[in-house]
A and B are shown apart, each in its own frame.
Chain A
Amino acid sequence: MSERQSYFRAALGTPGGRAGMLAVGAIVLFGIAAPLFLPDPAAQPDIVGGALQPPSALAPFGTDDLSRDVLARVAAGARVSIAVAAIAVALSATLGTLIGIVAGYAGGAVDALLMRVVDGALAVPRLFILLLLLAAWERMPLAALILIIGITGWFGTSRLVRAEVLRLREADFVRAAEALGARPGRVMFRHLLPNTFGPLLVAATLAVGDVILLEAGLSFLGLGVRPPTPSWGGMIYDGRAVLTTAPWVSIFPGLAIIATVLSVNLLAGGLRAALNPREA
């Protein structure tokens, strides 16, 4: 039985966690399966007569100014937004965990140095760094965007993991491993790492919601995911000119953001609730 599986199974035990997990699953599945039953999100079937059509049986979310199917674009946006968030968070969680474990276990000067770096980094608004970089690098590829979101997101995680390691470090099983002659690497990765997994998972899940919002915000400003790649933030941006006449162009991607972030946060809450009894 893998630990990851068991955490998610435990989260299913709470009503919020259950709802969150089902909703996240449904959104991801919808994003992945959409190409099977929805039109090509890039297709512009009838740019003259088919643009800005209100929701109908044919196009349940209506069409945009280029006659593209909004539902298909929301689905494609789900793929992009969730993938960007998941990869960026995986990257920042990995970095944060590594740095947090090293700082917490090594202690002393190494810890002091790493934590001052984190203090400094946390004092600079993340959005500010991102805007600066994006302004300097006009046609930033998606991979670079993910990378940048990832490496600007580990500071909080490293603190969380470090705090957890400081607590665990005092446990007798760590003493026992040291007494057996375990090298630091072994203590950190066989003993400390698996025990930080629970809180880490909660934090990472919450971070996915944050990154979805961040990416949407950047894309809305025209700085994140660039057209023609569909993204929820970009779609809201595209729809702002016709907000009064064709609100569906912006409203549905907006609702998609809210629904996704809400269900991710519900899932995080469920994970947290499932983890806490273990701590007691």
Chain B
Amino acid sequence: MSGPLLVVRDLVKHYTSEGLFAARTAPVRAVDGVSFEVGRGETLALVGESGCGKSSVGRTIIRLQEPTSGEALFEGQAIFRLEREPLRALRRRMQIIFQDPYSSLNPRMTVGDAVAEGIEIHRLARTKAERKERVAALLEEVGLDPSYASRYPHEFSGGQRQRIGIARALAVEPAFIVCDEPVSALDVSVQAQVINLLRDLQERRGLSYLFIAHDLAVVRQIAHRIAVMYLGHIIETAPTETLLSDPRHPYTQALLSAVPEPDPTAQRARIVLSGDLPSPSSPPPGCRFHTRCFHPLRSERCRSEVPLLRPVHGSLAACHYAETPASPLAH
């Protein structure tokens, strides 16, 4: 079967305060009409700063949260319409790994039991011995000693815990994994180990990743394509090298210039954005970035007309003036 593995159309996720006596406040428009595709064996990175909605996208498409509206097709199946049992079956195909290596493992469960959980739930092993064997093989695959199976999570470092979380996700042999900031909480040297592991696993198993991150330098090591989010919208998407070498949206340019490069000789001029991120419950009208934009051509149009993603120089960019470079500093 060809065609993309996952197609997401017009995904919307709003959070309203719940409860009988909760004040009626404007909903938080975390994700506000997001569309993208992920191909087989492909990594799409969803990049943005806190509050841009990237994690909500990840959690919604694997139905850990219910979407407000929109559609998602996974291997042709409409995910958001699945009833309980077909949804459980889908869990074998789509998995998630988390950012926080501490909260993502049950402190009262051995490593072996954590990794075996998916095997147990989906009855993927006929005997206890077979289950044990598979757990050992999974631990080995993520670079851990199989003897760790009988230990508890608190005995392990952040990087090791992250590997355990990866083994747990792999246990059900998924085709697609949402990686929700999987290396953000790790030290640099360990971060590189986990990035390499994820790359190896992708190659070996033909996995597809939705890689959610805030660090463009990390993303560059693993993503085939990048989608940049700002206040619930994708504002630019392009193949990785295109986006990094020729960013078309002013926000992408600012984000890129803010990445600290460990090289004193190559200190690029920085674009320092002014002001704070507006509240996602009352995003600015028109282009959501206009309140902080530094594009020389920015105009009344930006304040009133929402720019749509459109092809510009090999990227898709949601800026009315994407043809003109926003800043001579950008590259």
Contacts and interface: CB of A to CB of B under 8 A. Distances in A.
A173 B87 CA distance: 19
A180 B168 contact: yes
Contacts of A46: none
B125 to A, nearest CB: 14
Contact of A176 (B92, B96, B108, B122): B96
B168 A195 contact: no
Interface stretch (B30-38, B97-105, B193-201, B217-225): B97-105
Contacts of A190: 106, 109
Contacts of B89: 181
Contact of B92 (A172, A175, A181, A183): A181
B118 interface: yes
Contacts of B88: 181, 183
A13 B182 CA distance: 37
B160 to A, nearest CB: 16
Contacts of B171: 180
Contact of B121 (A171, A173, A182, A194): A182
Greatest chain B CB density within 10 A among A3, A181, A191 is at A181
Given A172-B103, A195-B108, A181 B118 contact: yes
Contacts of B106: 173, 177, 190-191, 194-195
A180 B118 contact: yes
Contact of A194 (B108, B117, B122): B108
Contacts of A172: 98-100, 103-104
Given A181-B91, A194-B108, A195-B106, A176 B98 contact: yes
A214 to B, nearest CB: 32
Nearest to B85: A181
Contacts of B105: 173
A161 B117 CA distance: 24
Contact of B172 (A171, A180, A191, A195): A180
Interface string A153-191: 000000000000000000111011111111100100011
Contact of B108 (A3, A175, A181): A3
Interface residues of A, number: 19
B165 interface: yes
B22 interface: no
Q: How large is the interface on B (under 10, 10 to 19, 20 to 34, 35 or more residues)?
A: 20 to 34
B168 A176 contact: yes
Greatest chain A CB density within 10 A among B64, B96, B117 is at B117
A178 B168 CA distance: 12
A179 B95 contact: yes
B227 interface: no
Interface string B100-128: 10011111110000100110011000000
Nearest to A182: B121
Contacts of B172: 180-181
Given A173-B103, A175-B64, A195-B106, A180 B165 contact: no
A178 B104 CA distance: 12
B180 to A, nearest CB: 9
A179 B108 contact: no
A220 to B, nearest CB: 42
Nearest to B178: A179
A195 B64 contact: no
B176 to A, nearest CB: 12
Nearest to B172: A180
Interface in B288-308: none
Contacts of B168: 176, 180
Interface string A14-38: 0000000000000000000000000
A43 B139 CA distance: 67
B96 A195 contact: no
Contacts of A180: 91, 95, 117-118, 121, 168, 171-172
Nearest to A174: B106
B212 interface: no
B62 interface: yes
21 contacts: A3-B108, A171-B103, A173-B109, A175-B96, A176-B96, A176-B104, A179-B62, A179-B64, A179-B95, A179-B96, A180-B117, A180-B171, A181-B121, A181-B122, A181-B172, A182-B121, A190-B106, A190-B109, A191-B106, A194-B106, A197-B108
Top 5 A-B pairs ranked by shortest CB distance?
A181-B91, A172-B104, A194-B108, A172-B98, A181-B88
Given A171-B104, A180-B95, A180-B117, 9 more contacts: A173-B109, A175-B59, A179-B62, A180-B121, A183-B121, A191-B106, A194-B109, A195-B106, A197-B108
